[in-house]
Amino acid sequence: MPLPKPPTKLGSLLQAPAAGASDARAAEPEFETAGAPEQAARGSRSPAGAVAGVTPARGRTAPRKGGAAPAQAPAALLSSPPPESPRAAKGPKARTGEPGAKPPAGAAAPQARFTAPAMPPAPTVARSLPATGPARAPAEAPAAARRGSRAAAQAPAEAGKLFVLDTNVLMHDPTSLFRFEEHDVYLPMVTLEELDGHKKGMSEVARNARQASRELDALVAGVEAGIEQGIRLDHSGHREARGRLFFQTRALEARLPEALPQGKADNQILGVLQALTQAFPERSVVLVSKDINMRVKARALGLHAEDYTNDKTLDDADLLYTGVMALPEDFWDKQAKSLESWQQGGQPFYRLQGTLVASMLVNQAVYWEASNATPMYARVKEIRASTAVLQVVRDYTHPKNSIWGVCARNREQNFALNLLLDPEVDFVTLSGQAGTGKTLLALAAGLQQVLEDRRYNEIIITRVTVPVGEDIGYLPGTEEEKMSPWMGALDDNLEVLNQSGGGNHGGEWGRAATQELIRSKVKIKSLNFMRGRTFLNKYVIIDEAQNLTPKQMKTLITRAGPGTKIICMGNLAQIDTPYLTEGSSGLAYAVDRFKGWKHSGHITLARGERSRLADYATEIL
């Protein structure tokens, strides 16, 4: 849109500047133009919806009038290096193609050497982008100063952060674009190139790369204005994201140390980060990467870098819900007046009140132990307001209550067996170090409910095939034969169960028949073929669940149909999957999300019961 024609009086003043006004204008900064008219030196007021000093229609740049700080910089500056400081005019007139010449009426001003593109509405840009330079106060009329002050007042006092995403963040969590709340996200061009290079294949990384590409396509689709102005992240329906997404649309100039190869993708992202940091000194520009070495290099260059922690359930594994709670020593004394007790189905029940109830969860195991007193082991059965109902658990440490010849050796194993054998509990998670009996307890409870109680049809066992050392390559045979090398722990535990009491009847023939029966009821399935399946009346055991991502954990748990029970076991100290930590593991994710649900339970097994050698090695090694 051409600039409005100045009034006659103002035009005469422009043609013959008064004495003293030229000195004031001489001190005013200006942008050097090639054949620019006199109006570039005077400056022009931006129309409504544009940043002061930039004409939205043609992108002409002129210095800002008024004594207030300028409004926010255009969004397109995110994709271009910061302009050099404009040189002050040497006289009352700016240098033009023909000194002293006036532009013809209605003629458009020639474009400046460093131009800025069209601007989005002022409130949107002012919220997301800070000014790139100090406030300029040219000597102008007081009315113009007041107008500039009002325009600058529309900018917020504080701008959000600008997060530059590395490629591995998108491949780790395709929805990471929407996890930064009110802050803005910037994607370098090399990130898109790397994302395109990893989208082929059937691996989890390739699937995440394709999903991230689809998310970007959904954001870009339907955007009428140029993407240089930024795209609202809630455009595709993610209301929790209140920032904007910016793409690198131009090459940015950055000076990295010569020791860093310029062609490497990580160094190119660092160059973009450095250019943005220099362009916006008043704004926090942060690199988000899962690559530890890249974060170290960024900090060595004096740049801000952080790990992507939004997918972490907790920062410290010691804070993970254990499922067990110790009652205070004066529990009976404080609850003597309000405690109620009764018998139901041969099991004692207690109803208690007080502040202790607020720290309890449904299906949480509680115990009270004291010297010269009978201990109490119970489970929280129900919580209503400030009242909790405790059910005394069955004692599986006694040989008469053994399950398939297996007895609990400590209180945590006793709590675990009560959860595994409860038909009202559909989801059980067991965690603990090696040798605590996770697999043995789960198998014994499964055989009891499949072969003896006829509660489930069969046992299905699966696990993540992540090798500890080098991969052994392709395996011949059927699905079960391919999985058999990964199921060595299953064979070892089945051998123990076959000799511990379940198959001792009938001598060798009885044990052989029992082993054959067990094999017919235990199925080994691969994790790769679980999608789309539905398990009906099955007892599903997911071993080594610490190597699952939260997305894989969700895929497995949602396979459960009516009458199915799922048991997840794992050791958070033995994670072999890259980019997974104790806080972001699928096992920790499931434990944290399912705690307190009346149909789920969790127990952390603390004591190793494999052998004294294994216990001592776990302690000292």
CATH T-level assignment (fold) for domain 406-620 = Rossmann fold (3.40.50)
Which run of H or of E encompasses 506?
none
Higher pLDDT, 438 or 142: 438
Task: List Cβ neighbours of 114 (8 Å cut-off, separation of 6 or more).
Answer: 31, 61, 83, 84
Specify the pairing of strand 387-392 against strand 565-570. Answer: unpaired
What is the residue whose two structure tokens read 């201990």? 375
Residue 617 tokens, joined: 């090695």
Q: In whole angstroms, what is the distance from residue 496 CA to residue 482 CA? A: 23
The identity of residue 328, as a single letter, is P
Residue 449 tokens, joined: 């409910």
Q: In whole angstroms, what is the distance from residue 313 CA to residue 587 CA? A: 10
How confident is the model over 523-544, as a mean pLDDT? 87
The confidence score (pLDDT) of residue 381 equals 94
Within a 10 A sphere around the Cβ of 268, how many other Cβ atoms? 22
Bridge partners of residue 535, in order along the sequence: 560
Residue 362 pLDDT class (50, 70, 90 cuts): very high
Lowest mean pLDDT among 141-150, 352-361, 423-432: 141-150
Higher pLDDT, 468 or 433: 433
Per-residue pLDDT at 435 exceeds 90: no
Bridge partners of residue 379, in order along the sequence: 365, 391
Per-residue pLDDT at 223 exceeds 90: no
The confidence score (pLDDT) of residue 210 equals 94
Lowest mean pLDDT among 11-25, 412-426, 546-560: 11-25
The confidence score (pLDDT) of residue 117 equals 40
How confident is the model over 443-466, as a mean pLDDT? 89
HSE at residue 194, side-chain half, CA atoms within 13 A, is 18
Task: List Cβ neighbours of 20 (8 Å cut-off, separation of 6 or more).
Answer: none
Task: List Cβ neighbours of 371 (8 Å cut-off, separation of 6 or more).
Answer: none
Within a 10 A sphere around the Cβ of 161, how many other Cβ atoms? 17
The confidence score (pLDDT) of residue 247 equals 93
Residue 525 pLDDT class (50, 70, 90 cuts): confident
DSSP state of 437: S
Of 28-42, 96-110, 125-139, 306-320, highest mean pLDDT: 306-320
Per-residue pLDDT at 251 exceeds 60: yes
Q: In whole angstroms, what is the distance from residue 60 CA to residue 47 CA? A: 12
Which run of H or of E encompasses 619?
helix 612-620
Percent of residues, the chain, with pLDDT higher than 90: 38
Residue 35 zone, left/alpha/beta (φ > 0; ψ -120 to 50; rest): left
Start-end of CATH 2.40.30 domains in the chain:
320-392
Q: In whole angstroms, what is the distance from residue 337 CA to residue 358 CA? A: 19
Per-residue pLDDT at 197 exceeds 60: yes
Q: In whole angstroms, what is the distance from residue 317 CA to residue 294 CA? A: 25
What is the residue whose two structure tokens read 């701008």? 159
| SS3 per residue for 244-295 | EEEECCCCCCCCCCCCCCCCCHHHHHHHHHHHHHHHCCCCCEEEECCCHHHH
Residue 474 pLDDT class (50, 70, 90 cuts): low
The confidence score (pLDDT) of residue 350 equals 94
Within a 10 A sphere around the Cβ of 255, how many other Cβ atoms? 9
- CATH number (2.40.30, 2.60.40, 2.60.420, 2.40.50) of 320-392 reads 2.40.30
Higher pLDDT, 144 or 425: 425
Residue 114 pLDDT class (50, 70, 90 cuts): very low
Residue 505 pLDDT class (50, 70, 90 cuts): low
The confidence score (pLDDT) of residue 104 equals 45
Could you report the per-residue pLDDT of 62-91, keeping only the tens digit for each? 444 434 443 344 444 444 444 444 443 344
**Three-state secondary-structure class, residue 76:** helix
Lowest mean pLDDT among 105-119, 311-325, 515-529, 582-596: 105-119
Within a 10 A sphere around the Cβ of 596, how many other Cβ atoms? 14
Per-residue pLDDT at 471 exceeds 70: no
Calculate the alpha carbon distances from 254 to 31, 247, 556 in Å: 23, 17, 47
> Are 172 and 288 within 8 A, CB to CB?
no
Higher pLDDT, 518 or 107: 518
Percent of residues, the chain, with pLDDT higher than 70: 68
Sheet holding 376-384, edge to edge: 324-326, 365-368, 376-384, 387-392, 347-353, 340-344
DSSP state of 568: E
Could you report the per-residue pLDDT of 278-336, keeping only the tens digit for each? 999 989 999 999 999 999 999 999 999 999 988 776 766 668 899 999 999 888 888 88
Q: In whole angstroms, what is the distance from residue 367 CA to residue 476 CA? A: 50
Average pLDDT, rounded, for the chain: 75
How confident is the model over 366-393, as a mean pLDDT? 92
The confidence score (pLDDT) of residue 500 equals 64
> Are 544 and 567 within 8 A, CB to CB?
no
One DSSP character per residue, 405-432 reads TB---SHHHHHHHHHHT-TT--EEEEEE
Lowest mean pLDDT among 136-140, 400-404, 427-431: 136-140
CA dihedral sign, ordered 371, 372, 378, 383: negative
Q: For the chain, how are helix, strand and coil distributed in percent, rounded to 5?
A: 35, 15, 50
Higher pLDDT, 53 or 394: 394
Specify the pairing of strand 365-368 against strand 324-326. Answer: parallel
Calculate the alpha carbon distances from 363 to 176, 358, 618 in Å: 34, 14, 30
Helices and strands, counts by H and E, the chain: 19, 18
* pTM of the model as a whole: 0.64
Residue 507 pLDDT class (50, 70, 90 cuts): low
Per-residue pLDDT at 270 exceeds 90: yes
CA dihedral sign, ordered 266, 271, 272, 277: positive
> Are 166 and 291 within 8 A, CB to CB?
yes
One DSSP character per residue, 3-39 reads PPPPPHHHHHHHHSPPTTHHHHHHTSB---BSS--TH
Q: In whole angstroms, what is the distance from residue 612 CA to residue 409 CA? A: 14
Residue 563 tokens, joined: 């009458």
Based on its alpha-carbon atoms, the radius of gyration of the chain, rounded to whole angstroms, reads 35
> Are 473 and 516 within 8 A, CB to CB?
no
Start-end of CATH 3.40.50.1010 domains in the chain:
162-306
DSSP state of 545: G
> Are 524 and 483 within 8 A, CB to CB?
yes
Calculate the alpha carbon distances from 598 to 362, 379, 425, 445, 602 in Å: 6, 11, 7, 20, 11
Given this structure, which CATH class describes domain 162-306? alpha beta
The confidence score (pLDDT) of residue 184 equals 94
> Are 379 and 414 within 8 A, CB to CB?
no
Which among 402, 590, 569, 396 has a CA at the least distance from the CA of 489?
569
Q: In whole angstroms, what is the distance from residue 593 CA to residue 615 CA? A: 31
